[in-house]
Structure 1
Amino acid sequence: MASPDAVAPFLENAYILDLFAGPGGLDVAAHMLGVPSLGIEWDRNSCETRYAAGLPTWHADVSAVRRDRFHELPKGLTVLAGGPPCQTYSVAGHGAGRKALKEVEGFIRALVDGVDDSAIDAQLDELHGDPRTALVLEPLRYAIKALTCPNRDGRPFDVIVLEQVPGVKALWDVYAEVLRAGLPGRGGERVRYNVAEVTTLQTEAYGVPQTRRRTILMARLLEHGTPRLPVPTHHTYKPRIPEQVGAEDTPTVVESGQTALPMTEFESPLRPWVSMGEVLEPAGRGTPFSVVSNYGSGGDPKMRGIRSDKQPAFTVTGKVSRNAVWRGDGTPHSPDRLTVPEAGILQTFPPDYPWSGGDQSQQVGNAVPPLFGMHVLAAALALGLPPEERLREQWPEVAVEDRATLRKEGCGVSDGCGPNCPKSVDQSPSRSSDSSRPRTGASAKRSEK
């Protein structure tokens, strides 16, 4: 049953701008909700998947669009969404972002105080040697630029929805503070937002057959009221109690010191979490089976976690294709590794989602789980949720000519990359220049399990 917020949508023509859009997780969610979206994505491979899926996309650097092409964005965009690259903030990464939290917090406040962009950029170039750390500032820079861009006539984004690994919670808290205090408008006025409590949510509590934690920021202009975080629909998975929990249990802790939202008369009892076997068996993966994690536990690479088909998957990462699959008797399953379509299903993409281009495992691991995205967007926009079974239905096939049209709109040409696209030589993750940064890396989504 719908929550009380879901009976009165407040935007007649919601239109999402998805920054760092990846292969389309949030856009698939928007599609299911009937909301149009435009994604900006740096990675060429992810753009190939997006064009094949029929998702409007600019193949471009988010920072470059903000600096040079913001005025070209559609005027009707009302929702700013996205998940900046998380490697430098993830516990699985090198930690440059975590070390720079105080500096980045200072940049957030400087942006709101009107410090010149070029002065901030000069300081960001020296930020612990990793330009991806600074990308967490881009959503705020977009929100501020919307207030001064002549093409928008000072019109702010009505809704802001951001997701990141738990390591960024401190920065999202600062975001919340400055959004409540108000962003600088072009006439000197402050444009203020209502912001829900910044909270870390567990994706299996929303029906995703995978344990994954994401910290969410949701904000609405004052006139639209305060957003309500999505209410859990399923129980969370407890590694120390790997069996299914009973319906009599209450919502479980999603972060130290915090609990899931309480149930109300508008909400149904929590359902059991969804297991790997439930979603992979219909796709042809025979049961029983076990999946061996591609990373170590407790800092020991030799200690590989194992989960059975009756449990949710470990966090799907860019190295998901390395996850070994065993039979019940301990012998290799067939196939003996998780396939890209199977990994996509564990992320709640449709079974026939048209993964294209190279490095497809990386694309899958970088994505927002569409089912989780549906819950977050529906809560932010006060929309009712469609049946989650729709994500298991056939994805609409996109004609070749329609793909060419999308590519022309996103790249400038219908058969390749245009002048505004990142150069192919810059697509290597090993390069350190600002224009060559990858959206996310192999360990990007190996967030706290």
Structure 2
Amino acid sequence: MHYLFTDLFAGPGGLDHGIHAAGHPSVGIEWDTNAVATRHAAGLATVHGDVRQYGPADFPDANALAGGPPCQTFSGAGPGSGRAQLNRIVAAVKQAGVDGQVLPPAGLDKRTSLVLEPLRWLLEAERLGRRYEAVVLEQVPAVAPVWEAYAEVLAGRGYSVATGVLRTEQYGLPQTRRRAVLLARYGTPVALPAPTHRPYRRGVPRADGDPALLPWVSMADVLPDRGPFTVISNYGTGGDPKARGRRDCDEPAFTVTGKISRLRLVDPDGRELPRLTAAEACVLQGFPADWPWSGADISQQIGNACPPTLARALVEAVAAE
């Protein structure tokens, strides 16, 4: 199958890079000036604007839709306002399936309501008489119930839909990151991509496990010039030094976020090492080492991006014959 994607909330180009690697063109919509600067430097087709101000009629040649709505209010590292509203959001999705109109619940935070935008685009395309042939959506795991509600709506409109929470190290990314995904195809079956690599389990050698799968990729595999090191994190510890996680360089990285510079690195003797750079975070996130990051807040751009490695696997799955 050959698709032209409209990429909503396109960021610095993670989804687009995966789309292109899978052999399809795309046009991304992004409002953040810094991410747009990176996209322009990377030569990605871009509309600098607010997704809410556009619709399928503005992209008449596109036959596929992709997107990763902002995750801050749903992420475990964020304020949690989106997670607190999940039941209302799911109800709004199901109601939209009945009346064809997407109405965000009253009082819903504007950032949180953006998770409903892909559904608005899908229903508007249907009203225009040209349904999208393929859909690829991804978000943090907390959004899984929303994608499942999307699946009900789309299945009632002739789509085959697959949803789930995937582990990115099982698709060759050198970090443990979990993403809730939705794949849909109109009129023909679709399935989530089969893992290519073994899951990471702390204390389990990467040579162990299913021999049909590749070993997971380590930090040392993609940062060979670093030499041996250990990463010390306080993610999810509440600041308790005794609870800080540690990973050696021969393991995958912790989830890459915009705060990666806060991770400590030490050598085998416990001596402090220089912290991870934005360029190294870029590689751990699955981008090419020479991705032309531009503008400000580069670490945040990297942390917010969809890993291109996962994006390619998702697009290849939705395009499979």
- Residue in structure 2 matched with residue 397 of structure 1 by the alignment: none
SS class of match (2:182): strand
1:19 matches 2:8: yes
| TM-superposed deviation, 1:138 | 0.5
- Residue in structure 1 matched with residue 317 of structure 2 by the alignment: 379
SS class of match (1:341): helix
Asked if the contact 1:294–1:320 (Cα under 8 Å) also holds between the matched residues in 2, the reply is no
Question: Which of 310, 319, 326 is 2:266 aligned to?
Answer: 326
- Residue in structure 1 matched with residue 206 of structure 2 by the alignment: 244
Q: How many residues align?
A: 320
- Name structure 2 gaps, 5 residues minimum: none
| TM-superposed deviation, 1:242 | 4.7
Asked if the contact 2:11–2:30 (Cα under 8 Å) also holds between the matched residues in 1, the reply is yes
Deviations 1:196-222 (A, max 9, x none): 2x2111000111000000111111111
- Residue in structure 2 matched with residue 403 of structure 1 by the alignment: none
Change (3 A) 1:44 1:269: same
1:165 matches 2:140: yes
Change (3 A) 1:175 1:323: same
Deviations 1:12-63 (A, max 9, x none): x410111111111111111212210011112111111110001111111111
| TM-superposed deviation, 1:115 | 6.0
Question: Which of 44, 56, 67 is 1:55 aligned to?
Answer: 44
Moved segments of 4+, more than 6 Å = none
1:85 matches 2:70: yes
Asked if the contact 1:294–1:319 (Cα under 8 Å) also holds between the matched residues in 2, the reply is no
Question: Which of 25, 28, 43 is 2:32 aligned to?
Answer: 43
Question: In the TM superposition, what are the counterparts of 1:22-171 in structure 2 within 5 Å?
Answer: 22-66=11-55, 70-73=56-59, 75-114=60-99, 120=103, 123-124=105-106, 126-127=107-108, 130-149=109-128, 154-171=129-146
- Residue in structure 2 matched with residue 350 of structure 1 by the alignment: 288
Mapped to 1, the partners of 2:253 and 2:300 lie a distance apart of 17
Asked if the contact 1:235–1:245 (Cα under 8 Å) also holds between the matched residues in 2, the reply is no
**TM superposition score normalised by structure 2:** 0.95
Mapped to 1, the partners of 2:63 and 2:190 lie a distance apart of 15
Mapped to 2, the partners of 1:173 and 1:37 lie a distance apart of 25
- Residue in structure 2 matched with residue 338 of structure 1 by the alignment: 276
Mapped to 2, the partners of 1:307 and 1:16 lie a distance apart of 37
Mapped to 1, the partners of 2:20 and 2:318 lie a distance apart of 15
Mapped to 2, the partners of 1:72 and 1:371 lie a distance apart of 29
Mapped to 2, the partners of 1:54 and 1:115 lie a distance apart of 36
Asked if the contact 2:101–2:120 (Cα under 8 Å) also holds between the matched residues in 1, the reply is no
Deviations 1:239-281 (A, max 9, x none): 2x253242xx24xxxxxxxxxxxxxxxxx81011110001011
Amino acid at match of 1:85: P
Asked if the contact 1:242–1:311 (Cα under 8 Å) also holds between the matched residues in 2, the reply is no
Mapped to 2, the partners of 1:92 and 1:319 lie a distance apart of 11
Amino acid at match of 1:279: V
Question: Which of 199, 220, 223 is 1:277 aligned to?
Answer: 220
Amino acid at match of 1:180: A
Mapped to 2, the partners of 1:230 and 1:338 lie a distance apart of 31
Equivalent pairs: percent with the same residue? Answer: 48
Asked if the contact 1:211–1:314 (Cα under 8 Å) also holds between the matched residues in 2, the reply is yes
SS class of match (2:254): coil
Structure with the greater alpha carbon radius of gyration? 1
Amino acid at match of 1:243: P
Change (3 A) 1:294 1:79: farther
Mapped to 2, the partners of 1:212 and 1:242 lie a distance apart of 18
Amino acid at match of 1:44: T
Asked if the contact 1:295–1:301 (Cα under 8 Å) also holds between the matched residues in 2, the reply is no
Amino acid at match of 1:308: D
- Residue in structure 2 matched with residue 312 of structure 1 by the alignment: 252
Asked if the contact 2:100–2:123 (Cα under 8 Å) also holds between the matched residues in 1, the reply is no
Question: Which of 166, 173, 179 is 2:154 aligned to?
Answer: 179
Asked if the contact 1:159–1:221 (Cα under 8 Å) also holds between the matched residues in 2, the reply is yes
Mapped to 2, the partners of 1:380 and 1:47 lie a distance apart of 27
**TM superposition score normalised by structure 1:** 0.68
